[in-house]
Structure formats: structure tokens, C-alpha cells
Amino acid sequence: MEEGRRWEEMPTDCLVSIFLRLGLDDLTISVPFVCKSWAQASLDPGCWRVVDFRTLDLMPWSRFCKGFVSRYSLRSFSFSPLMEFVVDRARGSVTELVFPSSSSVSWRDLVYASVKCPGLKRLALPDRLMLEDELRIPELVGGWRSLEELELESKPSSFLALVARIGHDCRRFTRLRVSGLITPEDACVMVNCLPELKCLDLSKSYLTKTELGVIVNGCKSLERLAVKDCLGFEADEEVVSMASNLKVFDHQGSKLLDDYGYETDEPEHQTGIFCW
């Protein structure tokens, strides 16, 4: 009886089609060390188009970090060598880049990504950047002219300048996620600078009915709005009617504040499902 074909003899294009479905952990510390043909196939830039560092446990004592240090003969683990390794493998093909939420990301890492990933369409930035780095985010993000989606764990101090820069440089931009205190100026800049905005997630923000109205009435292309667990407004009949033209309006858990800053006991409306 004839033996079946061995995995290492599979054509490279077939291997690539399999590997592009794998996560970063497999692509970095497992696949390249199986055999020469697998290592060669893992170098295809197509395997590295979607880079999500939040799928990894980046604590120094984790299985992944210990494996990365061991495989590549490093003295200790830090984020920068990992990020440079991954984006270098991609050779400019990264379209989605999700940074870890932790403060382990440096300004140098962000600049490196901006240079090596010029065709980025989706970007999720880390939380708790240094203040001086927050102020420089607009110049960085403005360089990604193909950017369509941006996710911010918290609203940076440079939010107004950032949105204005996106509106000027990123003509395909349609999706934004941010959490924080949404001021009248924030609402106006989103309306005026993001005319093609279709999906907006402001969940866990402080947002009053006034600013909500400015956004809903001013963003003419808006289709999906998530304001889950917000403080500052209750989804009463007026608010629900105001958002009736949206395809999806998810306001579950949003509450008013009383004059003293405490949550009210007014009933909550919990309808709508946001499909980001």
C-alpha cells in the first residue's frame, strides 16, 4: 500500500493558506521550527496581514514569552523585539494592527509600525501612553492614509487634533471606538471632520443627551451607534426617537447622573444590539 504524502511535502501555497489562519503564537514559536518547508512557508507576508498582540499573554513568565526568548536566543523578553520581528516578517503587508492594552508599548514601537505598515486599515492603540506621546498621536495616525478603523481604549488628550487629522488625511475612515468624557467640542469635531463615519462606539463614556443629539443628528452617514454603560443620559422616548434612523442603536446600561454626581434609580431601557 502506497504511503500518503508527508506534511512537509505539501506545496508552499497550500501551507500558506493554512498558516494565515493561525495566531501569532503558532507563527512565531511553533510553525517555523517544525521543518524547513514550514519555516519557508511561514515567511510569506500573507501570513502576517492581521497582527493582534492582544491574543498573546505578554507577561514575562508566560508560556509564549518564555518560548519566544528560548527560540530566538534572547536574554529576556520585551515587547519591542517581538513587534519588530512580526512587522518585519509582514514586509509591509499588515492591514490590521492591534497593540497590547498595557503600557509596555513605547513611542519608538508606534513609529516603527507607522514606517513598516504603510497600508494599515485597522488600528487599535494601547492604553495609558505617556502624555508627551499622546500629543504626538495625530502626526502618527495621519500617516496611515488607508486607515478605515481606529480603536482607542481611552480618549487621548490630543483627541480633537487626532480626529481633525484623520478627517484630513484618511478619506476612507468609517469606524471609531473611544471611551472617555465626550465634550461638546468632541461631538462637533466628529461631526465636522468625519463625514463618512458609519460605526461609532462610545461605550463606557460620560455623554450627555445634548452631545448625543449633536452626534446622531450631525453624522449623516452614521448607521451603528453603541453607547453602552454610559453616564450622563437615559435612553428615554426622546433619545430613542432621535436615533430611530440608525440601523443599530445599543444603549444598554446607560444612566443619568443626579445633581450630586450619583447614579439615579430611573429605569433602564435595554434594547438594541451593536454589531461592530
Q: Are 146 and 174 in contact (CB under 8 A)?
A: no
Domain match, 81 and 164 both: yes
Please state, in angstroms and rounded to a whole number, the distance separating the CA atoms of residues 79 and 53. Answer: 10
What domain range is 220 assigned to?
180-276
Are 259 and 244 in contact by the 8 Å Cβ rule? The answer is no
Query: By mean pLDDT, which of 25-29, 78-82, 209-213, 261-265 is the weakest?
Result: 261-265
DSSP structure string for 209-237 = HHHHHHHHHH-TT--EEE-TT-BS----H
> For the residues 213-242, what does the mean pLDDT come to?
94
Same domain, yes or no: 253 and 162: no
- From 152, 173, 194, give the residue that closes a domain: 173
31 plus 105 within the same structural domain: no
CATH number of the CATH domain containing 29: 1.20.1280
> For residue 176, what pLDDT is reported?
98
Q: What is the mean pLDDT of residues 169-173?
A: 95
CA distance 37 to 215: 53
Residues 87 and 42 both lie in one domain:
no
* The three grid cell numbers given for residue 242, joined into one nine-digit string: 432621535
| pLDDT interval class at 150 (50, 70, 90) | very high
Examine the domain organization and report whether 135 and 205 are in the same domain. Answer: no
Residues 19 and 122 in one domain: no
What's the rounded Cα separation, in Å, for the pair 113 and 87? 7
Band (pLDDT 50/70/90 cuts) for residue 102 is confident
Same domain, 263 and 233: yes
Total domain count, the chain: 3
Clarify whether residues 123 and 204 are in a common domain: no
| 40 plus 123 within the same structural domain | no
Q: Same domain for 154 and 66?
A: yes
Q: Which of 123, 154, 173 is the last residue of a domain?
A: 173
Look at residue 92 and tell me whether its pLDDT is greater than 70.
yes
Strand 175-177 to strand 199-201: parallel, antiparallel, or no bridges (unpaired)?
parallel
Residues 130, 78 share a domain: yes
Q: Give this prediction's pTM.
A: 0.86
* Rounded-to-integer distance, Cα 222 and Cα 242, Å: 13
Listed residues 143, 173, 203: the one ending a domain: 173
Name the phi and psi angles at 206, rounded to 5: -95, 115
Q: For residue 98, what are the β-bridge partners?
A: 52, 124
CA distance 141 to 131: 16
Q: What is the pLDDT of residue 10?
A: 74
Average pLDDT value for residue range 130-138: 87
Considering the domain architecture, whether residues 21 and 95 belong to the same structural domain is answered as: no
What percent of the chain shows pLDDT beyond 70? 89
Using alpha carbons, list the distances in angstroms from residue 31 to 8, 25, 28, 42, 111.
11, 9, 7, 7, 28
